[in-house]
């Protein structure tokens, strides 16, 4: 992190409970309007996040022209981002190709 980075305290700017896609969009609309190209999002004080907020945040960050990084992210918040970023393999209950249909 350099002195030219812009730090955004998300708990103060948005909420300690991150809930709606529209809120994530509003946050990124603000970020895109900043003159700084390096943005640091500080998750200190954030207590909860919905899957919809995390997914929209992920999509907007991926498409942003800014270099955005996160600091002080609580474990539960990190886990939700891991889920929306598909870092976990889905467990297959059955292998579809190995099951024969039953005709009655």
* pLDDT tens digit sequence for 37-72: 999 999 999 999 999 999 999 999 999 999 999 999
User: What DSSP character marks residue 97?
Assistant: G
Residue 2: pLDDT over 60: no
User: What DSSP character marks residue 98?
Assistant: G
Residue 92: predicted pLDDT:
66
Residue 27: pLDDT over 70: yes
Q: What is the pTM of this model?
A: 0.78
Residue 100: predicted pLDDT:
75
d(CA 71, CA 31) in angstroms, rounded, equals 16
Residue 88: pLDDT over 70: no
Q: Which two tokens stand for residue 41?
A: 């999002």
């Amino acid at each position: 992190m350099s002195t030219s980075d812009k730090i955004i305290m998300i708990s103060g700017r948005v909420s300690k409970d991150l809930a709606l896609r529209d809120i994530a969009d509003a946050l990124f609309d603000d970020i895109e309007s900043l003159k700084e190209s390096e943005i640091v999002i500080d998750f200190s004080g954030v207590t909860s996040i919905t899957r919809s907020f995390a997914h929209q945040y992920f999509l907007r960050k991926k498409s942003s022209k800014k270099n955005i990084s996160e600091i002080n992210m609580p474990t539960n918040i990190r886990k939700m981002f891991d889920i929306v970023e598909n870092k976990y393999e889905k467990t297959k209950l059955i292998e579809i190709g190995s099951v024969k249909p039953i005709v009655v």
